[in-house]
Amino acid sequence: MKFEVTILGSSSATPIFNRNPTSQALNVNDRLYLIDCGEGTQQQMLRFDIKASRIDHIFISHLHGDHYLGLVGLLSSLHLNGRIKPLKIYCPPQLKEIVDLQLRYSETTLQYPLDYVFTNADKAEMLLDNQDITVESIPLNHRISCTGFLFKEKKRLRKLIKEKIEGLEIPIAYYSALKKGADFIMPNGEVLKNDTLTIDSSDPKAYAYCSDTLYDEMYFKQISDVTLLYHEATFLNNMLDRAIETHHTTALQAANVALITHARKLLIGHFSARYKTLNELLDEARSIFPETELAIEGRTFVIGE
Ligand SMILES: [Zn+2]
Ligand SMILES: [Zn+2]
Protein backbone atom coordinates (compact mmCIF):
# COMPACT_ATOMS: atom_id res chain seq x y z
CA MET A 1 0.00 0.00 0.00
CA LYS A 2 1.34 3.42 -0.93
CA PHE A 3 2.09 5.70 2.04
CA GLU A 4 4.15 8.72 1.04
CA VAL A 5 4.25 12.47 1.47
CA THR A 6 5.15 15.10 -1.13
CA ILE A 7 6.34 18.48 0.11
CA LEU A 8 4.58 21.41 -1.60
CA GLY A 9 5.66 24.24 0.71
CA SER A 10 8.35 24.54 3.37
CA SER A 11 8.64 28.23 4.16
CA SER A 12 7.42 29.92 7.31
CA ALA A 13 5.47 33.16 7.18
CA THR A 14 6.22 34.39 3.64
CA PRO A 15 7.14 32.94 0.23
CA ILE A 16 10.87 33.54 -0.29
CA PHE A 17 13.97 32.06 -2.00
CA ASN A 18 11.70 29.90 -4.17
CA ARG A 19 10.18 28.43 -1.04
CA ASN A 20 6.42 28.47 -0.55
CA PRO A 21 4.36 28.55 2.63
CA THR A 22 3.44 25.22 4.17
CA SER A 23 1.58 22.46 2.37
CA GLN A 24 2.03 18.73 1.95
CA ALA A 25 0.19 16.06 -0.04
CA LEU A 26 -0.08 12.68 1.62
CA ASN A 27 -0.79 9.69 -0.62
CA VAL A 28 -2.29 6.71 1.18
CA ASN A 29 -3.22 3.83 -1.08
CA ASP A 30 -3.67 6.29 -3.96
CA ARG A 31 -6.03 8.51 -1.98
CA LEU A 32 -4.80 12.08 -1.48
CA TYR A 33 -4.90 14.02 1.78
CA LEU A 34 -3.81 17.66 1.74
CA ILE A 35 -2.12 18.93 4.90
CA ASP A 36 -2.18 22.73 5.26
CA CYS A 37 -2.69 24.91 2.23
CA GLY A 38 -0.46 27.99 2.19
CA GLU A 39 -0.50 30.54 -0.59
CA GLY A 40 0.82 29.02 -3.84
CA THR A 41 -0.31 25.48 -3.07
CA GLN A 42 -2.29 25.21 -6.31
CA GLN A 43 0.74 26.14 -8.42
CA GLN A 44 2.86 23.67 -6.49
CA MET A 45 0.33 20.91 -7.09
CA LEU A 46 0.44 21.62 -10.82
CA ARG A 47 4.24 21.65 -10.78
CA PHE A 48 4.55 18.35 -8.94
CA ASP A 49 1.62 16.60 -10.63
CA ILE A 50 -0.66 16.34 -7.61
CA LYS A 51 -4.22 16.13 -8.94
CA ALA A 52 -6.38 18.49 -6.88
CA SER A 53 -9.53 16.71 -8.04
CA ARG A 54 -8.34 13.56 -6.23
CA ILE A 55 -8.17 15.26 -2.83
CA ASP A 56 -11.14 14.39 -0.60
CA HIS A 57 -9.72 15.49 2.77
CA ILE A 58 -7.94 18.72 3.72
CA PHE A 59 -6.34 19.21 7.13
CA ILE A 60 -5.61 22.76 8.34
CA SER A 61 -3.44 23.02 11.45
CA HIS A 62 -4.17 26.63 12.43
CA LEU A 63 -5.21 30.02 11.15
CA HIS A 64 -1.89 31.75 10.59
CA GLY A 65 -1.96 32.76 6.93
CA ASP A 66 1.07 30.69 5.94
CA HIS A 67 -1.00 27.54 6.59
CA TYR A 68 -4.32 28.31 4.92
CA LEU A 69 -4.26 31.38 2.60
CA GLY A 70 -4.27 29.08 -0.44
CA LEU A 71 -7.43 27.29 0.63
CA VAL A 72 -10.18 29.54 -0.71
CA GLY A 73 -8.42 29.67 -4.09
CA LEU A 74 -8.27 25.90 -4.19
CA LEU A 75 -11.93 25.52 -3.19
CA SER A 76 -12.85 28.00 -5.90
CA SER A 77 -10.85 26.17 -8.59
CA LEU A 78 -12.45 22.85 -7.67
CA HIS A 79 -15.85 24.52 -8.08
CA LEU A 80 -14.92 26.00 -11.47
CA ASN A 81 -13.54 22.64 -12.60
CA GLY A 82 -16.90 20.99 -11.98
CA ARG A 83 -16.32 19.09 -8.78
CA ILE A 84 -19.49 17.60 -7.35
CA LYS A 85 -18.19 15.03 -4.84
CA PRO A 86 -18.01 16.13 -1.18
CA LEU A 87 -14.84 17.57 0.33
CA LYS A 88 -14.01 17.29 4.00
CA ILE A 89 -12.05 19.96 5.85
CA TYR A 90 -10.56 19.33 9.30
CA CYS A 91 -9.77 22.69 10.88
CA PRO A 92 -10.30 25.17 13.70
CA PRO A 93 -14.00 26.21 13.80
CA GLN A 94 -13.28 29.82 12.81
CA LEU A 95 -12.14 28.74 9.34
CA LYS A 96 -15.72 28.04 8.31
CA GLU A 97 -16.62 31.66 9.04
CA ILE A 98 -13.70 32.86 6.88
CA VAL A 99 -14.62 30.59 3.96
CA ASP A 100 -18.34 31.42 4.21
CA LEU A 101 -17.59 35.14 4.16
CA GLN A 102 -15.41 34.89 1.06
CA LEU A 103 -18.00 32.80 -0.76
CA ARG A 104 -20.83 35.10 0.31
CA TYR A 105 -19.24 38.29 -1.03
CA SER A 106 -18.26 36.66 -4.30
CA GLU A 107 -21.83 35.35 -4.55
CA THR A 108 -20.52 31.86 -5.06
CA THR A 109 -22.47 28.74 -4.18
CA LEU A 110 -20.12 25.78 -4.39
CA GLN A 111 -21.40 22.93 -6.55
CA TYR A 112 -20.05 20.38 -4.09
CA PRO A 113 -20.74 19.84 -0.39
CA LEU A 114 -18.10 21.12 2.00
CA ASP A 115 -18.17 19.11 5.21
CA TYR A 116 -16.31 20.38 8.24
CA VAL A 117 -14.80 18.48 11.15
CA PHE A 118 -13.65 20.97 13.75
CA THR A 119 -10.44 20.45 15.67
CA ASN A 120 -9.95 21.25 19.32
CA ALA A 121 -6.51 22.39 20.40
CA ASP A 122 -7.26 21.36 24.00
CA LYS A 123 -7.50 17.64 23.40
CA ALA A 124 -6.43 14.94 20.98
CA GLU A 125 -9.35 13.53 19.02
CA MET A 126 -9.98 10.93 16.36
CA LEU A 127 -10.84 12.90 13.23
CA LEU A 128 -11.04 10.22 10.56
CA ASP A 129 -11.24 6.44 10.47
CA ASN A 130 -11.50 4.75 7.07
CA GLN A 131 -10.40 1.45 5.52
CA ASP A 132 -6.78 2.59 5.14
CA ILE A 133 -5.95 4.89 8.04
CA THR A 134 -6.93 6.70 11.19
CA VAL A 135 -6.15 10.38 11.73
CA GLU A 136 -5.90 11.98 15.17
CA SER A 137 -5.40 15.63 16.01
CA ILE A 138 -2.26 16.49 18.00
CA PRO A 139 -2.74 19.52 20.30
CA LEU A 140 0.32 21.77 19.97
CA ASN A 141 1.54 24.85 21.83
CA HIS A 142 1.48 27.85 19.50
CA ARG A 143 0.45 31.52 19.77
CA ILE A 144 -3.06 30.65 18.55
CA SER A 145 -4.95 27.33 18.68
CA CYS A 146 -3.00 24.80 16.63
CA THR A 147 -3.08 21.05 16.10
CA GLY A 148 -0.85 18.66 14.25
CA PHE A 149 -2.15 15.44 12.72
CA LEU A 150 -1.20 11.83 13.30
CA PHE A 151 -1.83 9.52 10.33
CA LYS A 152 -1.71 5.83 11.21
CA GLU A 153 -1.93 2.99 8.73
CA LYS A 154 -4.32 0.21 9.65
CA LYS A 155 -2.97 -3.26 10.20
CA ARG A 156 -3.35 -5.13 6.94
CA LEU A 157 -4.54 -8.71 6.43
CA ARG A 158 -2.11 -11.63 6.47
CA LYS A 159 -0.59 -12.67 3.15
CA LEU A 160 -1.19 -16.12 1.65
CA ILE A 161 1.92 -18.21 0.97
CA LYS A 162 1.20 -19.21 -2.63
CA GLU A 163 3.42 -22.31 -2.72
CA LYS A 164 1.72 -23.70 0.41
CA ILE A 165 -1.82 -22.97 -0.73
CA GLU A 166 -1.42 -24.46 -4.22
CA GLY A 167 -2.42 -28.10 -4.37
CA LEU A 168 -4.33 -28.08 -1.07
CA GLU A 169 -7.71 -27.62 -2.75
CA ILE A 170 -8.71 -24.86 -0.37
CA PRO A 171 -11.92 -23.23 -1.65
CA ILE A 172 -11.16 -19.71 -2.92
CA ALA A 173 -14.07 -18.45 -0.80
CA TYR A 174 -12.05 -19.47 2.26
CA TYR A 175 -9.04 -17.30 1.35
CA SER A 176 -10.43 -14.23 3.12
CA ALA A 177 -10.80 -16.25 6.35
CA LEU A 178 -7.18 -17.38 6.01
CA LYS A 179 -6.06 -13.79 5.55
CA LYS A 180 -7.85 -12.96 8.80
CA GLY A 181 -5.99 -15.73 10.64
CA ALA A 182 -8.25 -18.80 10.50
CA ASP A 183 -6.80 -22.33 10.45
CA PHE A 184 -7.87 -24.72 7.67
CA ILE A 185 -9.33 -28.16 8.33
CA MET A 186 -8.58 -30.70 5.57
CA PRO A 187 -11.32 -33.11 4.43
CA ASN A 188 -9.48 -35.86 6.40
CA GLY A 189 -9.76 -33.79 9.60
CA GLU A 190 -6.14 -32.67 9.69
CA VAL A 191 -5.78 -29.07 10.94
CA LEU A 192 -3.43 -26.83 9.00
CA LYS A 193 -2.33 -24.00 11.29
CA ASN A 194 -2.75 -20.54 9.85
CA ASP A 195 0.89 -19.57 10.31
CA THR A 196 1.94 -22.42 7.99
CA LEU A 197 -0.26 -20.99 5.21
CA THR A 198 0.11 -17.23 5.64
CA ILE A 199 2.61 -14.64 6.79
CA ASP A 200 1.94 -11.57 8.88
CA SER A 201 1.70 -8.25 7.06
CA SER A 202 4.28 -5.60 7.87
CA ASP A 203 3.76 -3.43 10.95
CA PRO A 204 1.48 -0.45 10.35
CA LYS A 205 3.39 2.78 9.78
CA ALA A 206 2.64 6.20 11.17
CA TYR A 207 3.26 9.77 10.02
CA ALA A 208 3.12 12.59 12.55
CA TYR A 209 2.77 16.13 11.23
CA CYS A 210 3.79 18.62 13.90
CA SER A 211 2.99 22.05 12.62
CA ASP A 212 3.91 25.31 14.37
CA THR A 213 4.73 24.77 18.02
CA LEU A 214 6.89 25.64 20.92
CA TYR A 215 9.05 22.75 22.10
CA ASP A 216 6.68 21.22 24.65
CA GLU A 217 6.62 17.69 26.07
CA MET A 218 2.81 17.68 26.13
CA TYR A 219 2.59 16.07 22.67
CA PHE A 220 5.55 13.68 22.96
CA LYS A 221 3.62 10.67 24.21
CA GLN A 222 1.07 10.79 21.41
CA ILE A 223 3.74 10.81 18.70
CA SER A 224 6.03 8.20 20.19
CA ASP A 225 7.57 5.60 17.85
CA VAL A 226 6.28 7.06 14.59
CA THR A 227 7.84 5.93 11.34
CA LEU A 228 8.26 9.47 10.04
CA LEU A 229 8.04 12.65 12.11
CA TYR A 230 7.60 15.97 10.37
CA HIS A 231 8.48 18.73 12.80
CA GLU A 232 8.79 22.43 12.25
CA ALA A 233 12.30 23.81 12.67
CA THR A 234 11.92 27.50 12.03
CA PHE A 235 15.26 28.66 13.46
CA LEU A 236 18.78 27.57 14.30
CA ASN A 237 19.33 27.06 18.01
CA ASN A 238 21.30 30.31 18.29
CA MET A 239 17.88 31.95 17.80
CA LEU A 240 16.31 30.03 20.68
CA ASP A 241 15.04 33.21 22.37
CA ARG A 242 13.26 34.22 19.19
CA ALA A 243 11.82 30.69 18.83
CA ILE A 244 10.41 30.83 22.35
CA GLU A 245 9.04 34.32 21.85
CA THR A 246 7.23 33.35 18.63
CA HIS A 247 6.21 29.84 19.81
CA HIS A 248 8.39 28.04 17.32
CA THR A 249 11.04 25.31 17.48
CA THR A 250 14.72 25.26 16.56
CA ALA A 251 16.34 22.56 14.42
CA LEU A 252 18.17 21.21 17.47
CA GLN A 253 14.93 21.03 19.44
CA ALA A 254 13.12 19.28 16.59
CA ALA A 255 15.89 16.68 16.53
CA ASN A 256 15.52 16.32 20.27
CA VAL A 257 11.80 15.61 19.86
CA ALA A 258 12.65 12.86 17.35
CA LEU A 259 15.26 11.43 19.70
CA ILE A 260 13.05 11.41 22.79
CA THR A 261 9.96 10.06 21.01
CA HIS A 262 11.97 7.37 19.13
CA ALA A 263 10.94 8.50 15.67
CA ARG A 264 12.50 6.35 13.00
CA LYS A 265 13.11 9.34 10.74
CA LEU A 266 12.75 13.12 11.02
CA LEU A 267 11.71 15.64 8.39
CA ILE A 268 12.24 19.31 9.23
CA GLY A 269 10.53 22.26 7.57
CA HIS A 270 8.82 25.66 8.07
CA PHE A 271 12.13 27.43 7.51
CA SER A 272 12.50 31.08 8.45
CA ALA A 273 12.94 33.59 5.64
CA ARG A 274 16.29 34.51 7.21
CA TYR A 275 17.91 31.31 5.87
CA LYS A 276 18.77 31.44 2.19
CA THR A 277 20.33 27.99 2.36
CA LEU A 278 19.28 25.21 4.68
CA ASN A 279 22.47 23.21 5.28
CA GLU A 280 23.09 24.67 8.72
CA LEU A 281 19.61 23.69 9.87
CA LEU A 282 20.15 20.16 8.57
CA ASP A 283 23.60 19.85 10.15
CA GLU A 284 22.33 21.08 13.49
CA ALA A 285 19.49 18.53 13.56
CA ARG A 286 21.75 15.70 12.33
CA SER A 287 24.27 16.48 15.09
CA ILE A 288 21.97 14.67 17.49
CA PHE A 289 19.53 12.84 15.16
CA PRO A 290 21.36 11.62 12.03
CA GLU A 291 18.20 10.28 10.34
CA THR A 292 17.03 13.79 9.49
CA GLU A 293 16.01 15.16 6.09
CA LEU A 294 14.98 18.60 4.86
CA ALA A 295 11.41 19.07 3.65
CA ILE A 296 12.55 20.19 0.20
CA GLU A 297 9.67 21.14 -2.08
CA GLY A 298 8.92 18.58 -4.75
CA ARG A 299 10.52 15.75 -2.84
CA THR A 300 8.44 12.71 -1.98
CA PHE A 301 9.25 10.76 1.16
CA VAL A 302 8.08 7.16 1.31
CA ILE A 303 7.04 6.54 4.91
CA GLY A 304 9.04 3.57 6.11
CA GLU A 305 12.07 4.00 3.80
ZN1 LIG B 1 3.58 28.93 10.22
ZN1 LIG C 1 1.79 29.73 13.08
State in Å: Cα 67 to ligand 1 middle: 6
Q: Tell me if 21 sits within 8 A of 15, measured CB to CB.
A: yes
Calculate how far, in angstroms, residue 111's C-alpha sits from the geometric centre of ligand 2.
31
Collapse the DSSP code of 31 into the 3-class scheme (helix H, G, I; strand E, B; otherwise coil) and give the result: strand
262 CA distance to ligand 1 middle (Å): 25
Instruction: Catalogue the E-assigned strands of 47-183.
Output: 55-59, 87-91, 114-118, 126-129, 133-139, 147-153, 159-160
Query: Helix, strand, or coil here: 123?
Result: coil
For residue 217, give the 3-state DSSP assignment: helix
The protein residues having their C-beta less than 5 angstroms from ligand 1 (an ion) are 12, 64, 66, 212
What type of residue is 279?
Answer: N
pLDDT at 269: 97
Nearest ligand by distance to the CA of 233: 1
Predicted local confidence at residue 274, as pLDDT = 93
CA of 261 to the centre of ligand 2 (A): 23
| 207-218 pLDDT per residue, tens | 999 999 999 999
Q: Is the pLDDT of residue 162 over 90?
A: no
CA of 153 to the centre of ligand 2 (A): 27
**Residue 224 phi, psi dihedral angles, 5° rounding:** -65, 140
Q: Who contacts 260 (Cβ-Cβ below 8 Å, separation ≥6)?
A: 220
Q: Whose atoms come closest to the Cα of 146: which ligand?
A: 2
Annotated active-site residue 66? The verdict is yes
pLDDT, tens digit, 9 for 90 and up, residues 25-72: 999 999 999 999 999 999 999 999 999 999 999 999 999 999 999 999
Which string of b and e fits 65-91 if b means at least 16 CB within 10 Å? Answer: ebbbbbbbbbbbebbeeebeeebbbbb
> Which DSSP category does 11 fall into?
B
pLDDT, mean of residues 148-163:
91
Shortest-distance ligand to the CA of residue 62: 2
Instruction: Report the number of secondary-structure helices (H) and strands (E) in the chain.
Output: 9, 18
Catalytic pick among 30, 36, 66, 283 = 66
Distance 142 CA to ligand 2 centre (A): 7
Within 8 A by CB and 6+ apart from 190, the residues are: none
Ligand nearest to the CA of 269: 1
